[in-house]
Structure 1
Amino acid sequence: MNTNKVFLGFLGMLMIVSACKKDQHKMTPLDNDGAAPAAISNVEVENLPGAARISYTLPDDEDLLYVVAECETENGIKEGKASLFGNGLLLDGFGDTRERKVTLYAVDRGENKSEPVTVNIQPLTPPMQMIRNSVEVNEDFGGVKINFKNELEAPVVINILTPDSVGEWSEVETWYTSQEEGAFSIRGFEAKKRKFAIYVRDQWENLSDTLIVEKVPLFEEELDKSNFSQYNLHSDASAGYGWVMTRMWDGSVDEPNGFHTAPGSTFPHHYTFDLGGVYQLSRYTMWQRGLISGTDFLYAHGNPRQWEIWGATDPASDGSWDGWTKLADCESIKPSGSPIGTVTNEDREYAMRGHEFLIPLEAPAVRYIRLKIINTWGGASYSHVMELSFWGAGQ
């Protein structure tokens, strides 16, 4: 056999394969007749909050693929596309109400573009600015309370800033929401005049203008636990394993310095204690079992998962709910969302700080507290709490 012929034949095959591979990367459109489709017609514009809906009549072109709209913005070209199965498209994500020019093209399967059709749009006030315009700021214990409305339920972030120790604006809260309306509080400040700045950011990184207010936070202090005492009523759950109620405010979160109800407690169950005076409560913190010793108890066993906190100044002596007012619905949150038995470092750090809950400013002043345990993390027939701390102002 002539080896030169074999070699030349093999080389020829390599060249053919190589040429085929190069052709694979060209990715040219199929059925490209080189002819552009006709333009869209009967264009109409509906301006919307932060957006514009553009409707039109499609050209009669059998290889039409889609319609594209292009609008020049400060951050580059904003583009919207719609398939041939519709007669309109939406351009959204505008952060102001300025008039803008939009250019539309019909595009066929060969990526040939029609002649441009130009229209003007003028989006209405964007949702993030509507939310900012609705913001109300009122004094609250240790800070301020922010109320807002979000009628379009747009996903946004409400950012709160206040001057730091050297007078520089510093972010103290980022509140993520898509609720129709809501409220939240910023706490931890002295009862001295302080400025707060509020602005709203949307998913396209558009920013509202900034509202700056000056408020004097209401005075709050941590309640003196040496004044706390058990206030045992007929219907209250009893203690178990020698873990008496007074250990729930002894300043320790380690075992056995907590309160444990007796096994066999039905749910919901409750227990009552006396704060030692009448207080307008602002917030409280609960620490669960398993933070130091017995770490397998963390987010498990009898640690409360859902409960209610009630208050009274003159509760009925028969243990009924007469005279009691619900102060808050509470739930223990596990940041990782992992199943029972799995606790991440994030979960542990979160629990170590304690689960803090705010008491609404409009709640009445109270002296007696009743915790109503709805369920526990481990579904146990008992509940246990290591420590409680309360903040507020004496009345």
Structure 2
Amino acid sequence: MKNNKWYLLLAFLCSVVMACKEEVLSPLEKDSVAPQQISNPVSTSTPGAVTIKYNLPSDPDLMYVMAEYTNKYGKTISVKASAYTNTLTVDGFADTAFYNLNLYAVDKSENKSAPVTIRVKALEPPIFAVRRSLVLASDFGGVNITFSNPTEANVAVIVLYKDSLGNFATKETIYTKQKNGLFSSRGFPAKETIFGVYIRDKWDNRTDTAKATITPIFEKQLDKSKFRVLTLPTDAKVGFGLPIPLLWNGIISGGDMWHTDDTGMPCQITFDMGVTAKISRFTIWQRQDNWIYAHGNPKRYEIWGSTNPASDGSYTNWTRLASCVSVKPSGMPSGQNTQEDVSAAARGEETTVSLNAPPVRYIRVRVLETWSGGLATHISEMTLFGNDN
């Protein structure tokens, strides 16, 4: 009896498997009648793209309109637009050549109409305007790259350098849509290096490579053992027994931090680096754990520098080195942190200082607003880089 039960179960499973194999997905409607063509297509050229407006056929089972063309690399590109619109955009063109674009009406049975062919020509793809605007200059530990991106297109900026074998190697790729781009690629010794930069878009269209021979400026982390507190009359008072030197003791996690009392905003503290240096960049770490992007962590703040600070605590003889805004990657409300938020806070918030900034000896941290909007602020750690030679 038991064997019969197993036989019946096996037979049932086999029948289910056979039924599944026989099931074939097909259009809900099926006929062999091709729809009518679209009519009166008119194309408009934009950077790297064309937009086509047209009249739809009257077929009740029309599903979409499809555009096809063969790009400069020999690849067939297809774009579809719903039957509920009469406009279709084809982007990703690599140049400003003329192309034959075929437009098809397609019904619910996947029947295609006869093509309507039009000649189209895109305006210059955005990557080329970005490429022409590239400027490469010497920077601390590497190369400074500036560019303009007037259409705010999504582009990739690929940074290359010639290695010891004389071959170009990729250093890094920066993805951006900034209208005015500015960043530095670092990690190089202070010796003559050939750098290259080219621009790529998401369709893998690429520009030629801009090249420059550059000697990076020597950069090092400034020695925190030389840092000393300088208390000026307008500086914030320490709160909770957490003094300013905890700002540079190398400990980021836990409750180890500089903390003010409820002094109100804006507030500032001052310290002496022990050397006069041209600052290249700095990193600030928030109070970690459950406090990130919350409580007294700075949301808007400034870093100032001086070689001769005014004794009255005013900003006479001070230069603003950077204005900073802390950005939470996820954009989630305070207290709700994603892994991306946690990782970003653990890396610290790095800010680049302008190459035109003067050498300084004294640093002032000025907090304008905290994440909670409260009266006290705190920072776990601060590291500065530059050249004190």
Quickly say closer, same or farther: Cα 1:287–1:90, change in 2 above 3 A: closer
- In structure 1, what is the equivalent of residue 321 of structure 2? 327
How far does the alpha carbon of each residue in 1:264-284 deviate from its partner, in whole angstroms, 9 at most, with x for none? 221221111222343221111
| Cα separation, 1, equivalents of 2:241 and 2:62 | 80
Contact 2:264 2:374 in 1 (8 A): no
Aligned to 1:248, the other structure's residue is in SS state: helix
- In structure 1, what is the equivalent of residue 229 of structure 2? 230
Contact 1:70 1:104 in 2 (8 A): yes
Taking every aligned residue pair, what percent have the same amino acid on both sides? Answer: 44
- In structure 2, what is the equivalent of residue 142 of structure 1? 141
| Cα separation, 2, equivalents of 1:109 and 1:343 | 46
- In structure 1, what is the equivalent of residue 362 of structure 2? 368
Quickly say closer, same or farther: Cα 1:114–1:265, change in 2 above 3 A: same
Contact 1:243 1:256 in 2 (8 A): no
Quickly say closer, same or farther: Cα 1:43–1:309, change in 2 above 3 A: same
How far does the alpha carbon of each residue in 1:187-242 deviate from its partner, in whole angstroms, 9 at most, with x for none? 23222111222122222233333223221112223323344322211111012344
Contact 2:255 2:287 in 1 (8 A): no
| Cα separation, 2, equivalents of 1:331 and 1:183 | 16
Give, in angstroms, the shift of residue 89 of structure 1: 2.5
Q: 1:274 aligns with which of 260, 268, 272?
A: 272
Contact 2:296 2:377 in 1 (8 A): yes
| Cα separation, 2, equivalents of 1:377 and 1:147 | 31
| Cα separation, 2, equivalents of 1:241 and 1:104 | 71
Give, in angstroms, the shift of residue 65 of structure 1: 5.0
Amino acid at match of 2:352: L
Quickly say closer, same or farther: Cα 1:245–1:56, change in 2 above 3 A: closer
Contact 2:298 2:370 in 1 (8 A): yes
Q: Does 1:383 find its partner at 2:377?
A: yes
Aligned to 2:272, the other structure's residue is in SS state: strand
| Cα separation, 2, equivalents of 1:342 and 1:81 | 39
Q: Which runs of 5+ in 1 are unaligned?
A: 1-20
Measured on the aligned residues, the alpha-carbon RMSD in Å equals 3.7
Q: Does 1:71 find its partner at 2:98?
A: no
Give, in angstroms, the shift of residue 358 of structure 1: 1.1
1:1-395 alignment, distance < 5 Å: 27-28=26-27, 30=29, 32=31, 35-59=33-57, 66-73=64-71, 74=73, 76-83=75-82, 86-108=85-107, 111-164=110-163, 169-253=168-252, 258-261=257-260, 263-290=261-288, 295-297=289-291, 300-332=294-326, 350-377=344-371, 381-394=375-388
Of 364-373 and 343-352, the range deviating more from structure 2: 343-352
Amino acid at match of 1:260: H
Aligned to 1:124, the other structure's residue is in SS state: coil
Amino acid at match of 1:181: N
Aligned length: 374
Aligned to 2:130, the other structure's residue is in SS state: helix
Amino acid at match of 1:118: T
- In structure 1, what is the equivalent of residue 5 of structure 2? none
| Cα separation, 1, equivalents of 2:380 and 2:58 | 74
Quickly say closer, same or farther: Cα 1:28–1:392, change in 2 above 3 A: closer
Contact 1:327 1:363 in 2 (8 A): yes
